[in-house]
Structure formats: structure tokens, C-alpha cells
A and B are shown apart, each in its own frame.
Chain A
Amino acid sequence: MYKVEARSVSVWYGSYKALDDVSLSLERNQVLALIGPSGCGKSTFLRLLNRMNDYIEGFRMEGKLLIDGEDIYSPEVDPVHLRRRVGMVFQKPTPFPFSIYENVAYGLRLQNRLKESQIRERVEQALRQAALWDEVKDNLKKSALALSGGQQQRLCIARALAVRPSLLLMDEPTSALDPISTAKIEELIHELRQNYTIVIVTHNMQQAARVSDMTAFFYMGRLIEYGRTKDFFTNPKHPETLRYITGRFG
């Protein structure tokens, strides 16, 4: 069974067709990079996976989208429950104006089943996973807003991990960060791959090449090319892919 499987997925915003007949499948514990010029539908595809597009007026979708073999757009699926299995990290860090600790505990408190001691354990675990623990362990009560941009983004990753999703979505998670923070997060993605399946949108082809196992190239709402990252950059099949990865349009 695939972790993620899209079957002829099309998306409209009102009358505008943002995705056109996209099909792809992704194995467990793989990193998938979505690349393509801006406006080509990368975020749209990513946000399909945790049903974040549901809130957009005029949004309509056709086709089937399966996660762990389950049709996530079937009426029985509660998007709120889905999002506990599918974590998301956004382009700009979005720390809540709470303490570092409360940020990471946020998703855990929603479920109302854990004792404070368990929450504390999972907060520490998540912060360690996000490679942030050593930097903040003495300041857990401090406001998350006081952290640097790179730390804030790792906090957001920790916050997502604390809920223990199996699929992690990242929408250009490093585009607002400096090179050192970017390197840290890429390293983190490498580590997380052992336990998570990750779908990451990036406009940076080197990044796609560095962090991903699979790469999907979108262009004007269509999935032009999809394959193993190794082959993708050394031996693209489509002329449009070649033009894009050699930087001749964008």
C-alpha cells in the first residue's frame, strides 16, 4: 500500500482550474519534493493532503486522494482527525504568542487525554526530534516570539511532530530563512525520513536534489514529470523539465 496516492486529481478555485488530472503515488518513509514555477499548483496539491483547501471559497476537487489507502475526501473522514495524522509546516514560521512549551503542547492539549507529565515528555521528545532541545531547554517558559526565525521554524516542526503524525507536509519551509538555518532544517529532514513520510514544496532545485527521494515537477497545474530524484536531475524525460531545472524559465 502506498502512503500517498493521487488518482486523476483536479482542483478548481471557482472557475479557475488549478490542478489538472494529477496522479502520483508515494511509498512510506520517502521524501517527495514538489517543484515548479510559482503559481503552478504546488501548494494546492500539498494542501489537498490535509484538507486545508476546504476553507477556500469556491474550492472544488475531483478524483481520489488516498492516504494509507483511505480516501481522505470521503464523507466519513473528519478533517480534524485527518490533520492529527498529517502535520503541516508553513512557509513563514507561525509560532503562537505563547511560551515555547505551550507552542509544542498545543496540539496535545486539543485532544485532552494526556496527563501533564505525559505532555511534558512529548514536548521534550518533539523538541529533540526538531533539534531544538539543547537551545531552549532552559527557557521553555520564554515566549516563542523571542526565538530567531530559524529556531521558530524548528519550533513549528516540533509542534507538528508532537502530535505524532505519520505524514509531514512542508510548504517552502526554508524560503524565509538564512543559509545556516536552512542547512539545519535540511539535516532535520534527513533524520525525520526514518520515521516519517515527507512532502516538501521547494522553489530551490538544489534543495530538492539534496533532501528528496522523489521529485514531482508541476507546470501550469499539470504534473509534467514524476520520478526518482536521482534520475530526475540527471536525466529528465520532458523538455519542459529540462528547461526548468537548467533555469531557463521560472
Chain B
Amino acid sequence: MPKVRKRWGELLATLLVSVVSWGAILVLGGVVGFIAYKGASVIGWSFLTEPMREGMRKGGIAPAIVGSLWVTAVAVIVGGFIGTAAGAYLSEFATNRRLKRAIEFLVTTLAGIPSVVYGLFGLALFVVALGLGASILAGGLTLALLSLPLLIRNAQEAFSAVPASLKEASLGLGASEMQTFLRITLPIALPRVLTGLVLATGRVLGETAPILFTVAAYYLPTYPRSLFEPTMLLPYHLYVLITSGVNVKETYPMAFGTALTLLMMSLAFTLTAAYLRFRLKLKYRV
């Protein structure tokens, strides 16, 4: 009797799980499909490689693509270094338990702050106080800050996942703690560290609120020449196309083209992360 009931329970659970997962896949596919359907007709070589023209009713979105890539690069490089170092400290080098706990608490708290608040903070610190003005550097640093909690956590977990037995073996051979970190822990954890970094890249690319006050230009159809200039960016350009176009009917399709471009770029990073993880995992078998 209990056996039968268990079977039914299992069947029900299986059914529920598959309905929910298929539902999720359908919704996701629907969103992507819808945007692809609306945006595909707009996207072409010229759309991706030419600047905007005539307000923003004609031409392409190239300056926004370039700007987004610049800001994202700054964010990921700065955030990557600081996040990896902090993660390494927390996982491998922190000897003061209290300090470690305090940092971990801070990281958790920072992760819960809405992104628009980061934007305001970036405005106050980087744009105004440090005098960077609205610039790629200010926006990139703001986004670096935003992604730090994620990057720190990810790096910390990656380093902690390296078997303690290997670290001990290295120390046992006369390696210092730093040598052990650089020669054993870091290379073995690298796949996970990089995966987190590439995933963060995909996320940073789509962030809108933090760039609003720190870097994004409303209409600046030229390519940035230094880190100290403002620039157009894909998410903000998308927002502008929809809300404040002179003639929304004209800019509406371009908005979908922009959205599709953004989506494809994010997706590219996510897939890269998956691929990286797979390849490097094979190499190190961890």
C-alpha cells in the first residue's frame, strides 16, 4: 500500500517538475523568439557598423555597441582583479576570523543593494568627488562595484573548492603559501573564476541604472576616443528609443534591433562561460 502511494507521489512530482520546466523553457523561448522576430528585420551589417543618423531615426547603433563594450571591459577588468584578490584573501589568506566574517557580511549586504543606488553612489564618488565626470571610466568603475559581490563570492567559492589535500601536498614540498596559491590553487580554480567573470560580463552589459548618471550619453553618434569621455550604450539607447524618440513609430523597430543585439551579446558571453567551464574542467578534472 505505501509503495503504491509512493509511486503516485513520485509520478505527481515528476509531472509537476516537467510541466514547470517546460513552462519556463517556453516562456524563455517565447521572449527570445518574439524579440528575434521583431528585431531580425532591422539587424544587418549597416545597423551594426554605422552610427545613428537623423536624430536616431536612421542609421545603426555602432557607437552604442562600442561604448557598451568599453564600459563593460573596464568593469570586468577592474572588478575581476579586485574580486579575485578579495576572494583569494577570504578563502586562502584570511587569518583573522572576525575580519573575515565582517567582510563576508559586507559582501552579502552589498549584493542586496538595488542597482540604481550604485548609480547614485557612482555619481557621487567617481563622477563628482573624484572628478572623472560622466565618463567610461566612471561608469565602468560603478559597474565594477556593482558586480564585486558576485565576483568575490564566486572567486572565494572557486578557491575553496580546490581540494585541501592538494594545497597541503604543495606546502609539504616546501612551497610557501603564496607559491601554493599561484601554482596550485589559482590554476585549478581558474575555470570557475573565469566562468564567473564571463557570466558577470553578460550581466554588466545589460545593466541600465548604474550607467544613467555616470557615463551614458543621450545622443552622441561618435566613437569614444578615451576613457574620460561619455558614450552611448546599448541598454540606455534602447530606453531612449522607446521613451523619447521624436517619432516612436519610426524608432520602435530599431528598439527591437537594439534589444536583439544586446540579447545576442549577453547570450554569447553566457555560452562562452559554459564552454570555458566545460573545456577547462576537462583539462583539470575538478
Known contacts A97-B188, A97-B284, A97-B286; A107 and B173 CB within 8 A of each other: yes
A-B contact pairs, 12 of them (CB 8 A): A80-B174, A83-B171, A83-B173, A87-B172, A90-B169, A94-B165, A97-B188, A97-B284, A106-B170, A106-B183, A107-B174, A160-B173
Query: Mask for B151-190, Cβ within 8 A of A = 1, else 0?
Result: 0000000000001011011111111100100011000100
Asked whether, in the complex, the Cβ of A163 is within 8 Å of the Cβ of B168, the reply is no
How many contacts between A and B, using CB within 8 angstroms? Answer: 59
Is B3 part of the binding interface, using a Cβ–Cβ cutoff of 8 Å? Answer: no
Asked whether, in the complex, the Cβ of A110 is within 8 Å of the Cβ of B175, the reply is yes
User: Within residues 123 to 178 of chain A, which ones have a CB less than 8 A from any CB in chain B?
Assistant: 145, 156, 159-160, 163
Number of interface residues of A (CB under 8 A): 23
Is B98 part of the binding interface, using a Cβ–Cβ cutoff of 8 Å? Answer: no
Asked whether, in the complex, the Cβ of A163 is within 8 Å of the Cβ of B166, the reply is no
Is A31 part of the binding interface, using a Cβ–Cβ cutoff of 8 Å? Answer: no
Query: Mask for B248-278, Cβ within 8 A of A = 1, else 0?
Result: 0000000000000000000000000000000
9 tightest CB-CB pairs across the interface, nearest first?
A: A107-B173, A84-B174, A88-B172, A94-B169, A83-B174, A97-B284, A94-B165, A80-B176, A110-B175
User: Within residues 10 to 43 of chain A, which ones have a CB less than 8 A from any CB in chain B?
Assistant: none
State the A residues within 8 Å of B (CB).
50, 52, 55, 80-81, 83-84, 87-88, 90, 92, 94, 96-97, 106-107, 110-111, 145, 156, 159-160, 163
Question: CA separation between A156 and B191, bound complex, in Å?
Answer: 25
Asked whether, in the complex, the Cβ of A52 is within 8 Å of the Cβ of B173, the reply is no
Contacts of B188 in A (CB 8 A): 97
Contacts of A81 in B (CB 8 A): 174
Asked whether, in the complex, the Cβ of A110 is within 8 Å of the Cβ of B174, the reply is yes
Is B285 part of the binding interface, using a Cβ–Cβ cutoff of 8 Å? Answer: yes
- For A81, A88, A97, A163, the residue with the greatest tally of chain B CB atoms inside 10 Å of its CB is A97
B181 to chain A, nearest CB (A): 13
**Chain A residue, CB-CB nearest to B95:** A57
B90 to chain A, nearest CB (A): 15
Asked whether, in the complex, the Cβ of A83 is within 8 Å of the Cβ of B172, the reply is yes
Known contacts A97-B284, A97-B286; A87 and B165 CB within 8 A of each other: no
Asked whether, in the complex, the Cβ of A52 is within 8 Å of the Cβ of B166, the reply is no
Contacts of A92 in B (CB 8 A): 165
Asked whether, in the complex, the Cβ of B172 is within 8 Å of the Cβ of A52, the reply is yes
Contacts of A163 in B (CB 8 A): 173-174
Asked whether, in the complex, the Cβ of A96 is within 8 Å of the Cβ of B166, the reply is yes
Asked whether, in the complex, the Cβ of B171 is within 8 Å of the Cβ of A97, the reply is no
Contacts of B171 in A (CB 8 A): 52, 55, 83
Asked whether, in the complex, the Cβ of B165 is within 8 Å of the Cβ of A90, the reply is yes
B159 to chain A, nearest CB (A): 15
A243 to chain B, nearest CB (A): 33
Contacts of A88 in B (CB 8 A): 169, 172
Tell which of B163, B173, B286 touches A110, judged by Cβ atoms closer than 8 Å: B173
Contacts of B184 in A (CB 8 A): 96
A229 to chain B, nearest CB (A): 26
B191 to chain A, nearest CB (A): 11
B167 to chain A, nearest CB (A): 9
Asked whether, in the complex, the Cβ of A87 is within 8 Å of the Cβ of B286, the reply is no
Asked whether, in the complex, the Cβ of A110 is within 8 Å of the Cβ of B169, the reply is no
Asked whether, in the complex, the Cβ of B172 is within 8 Å of the Cβ of A160, the reply is yes
Asked whether, in the complex, the Cβ of A159 is within 8 Å of the Cβ of B173, the reply is yes
11 additional contacts, CB 8 Å, given A52-B172, A96-B184, A110-B173? A52-B171, A55-B171, A80-B175, A83-B171, A84-B173, A94-B163, A94-B165, A97-B284, A106-B173, A106-B175, A160-B173
Known contacts A96-B166, A110-B179; A87 and B173 CB within 8 A of each other: yes
Contacts of A94 in B (CB 8 A): 163, 165-166, 168-169
A126 to chain B, nearest CB (A): 12
- For B173, B184, B283, the residue with the greatest tally of chain A CB atoms inside 10 Å of its CB is B173
Contacts of B285 in A (CB 8 A): 97, 145
Question: CA separation between A130 and B174, bound complex, in Å?
Answer: 19
A141 to chain B, nearest CB (A): 14
- For B171, B184, B188, the residue with the greatest tally of chain A CB atoms inside 10 Å of its CB is B171
Contacts of B170 in A (CB 8 A): 96, 106
Contacts of A50 in B (CB 8 A): 172
Contacts of A90 in B (CB 8 A): 165, 168-169, 172
Contacts of A96 in B (CB 8 A): 166, 169-170, 184
Contacts of A87 in B (CB 8 A): 172-173
A57 to chain B, nearest CB (A): 8
Question: CA separation between A55 and B93, bound complex, in Å?
Answer: 11
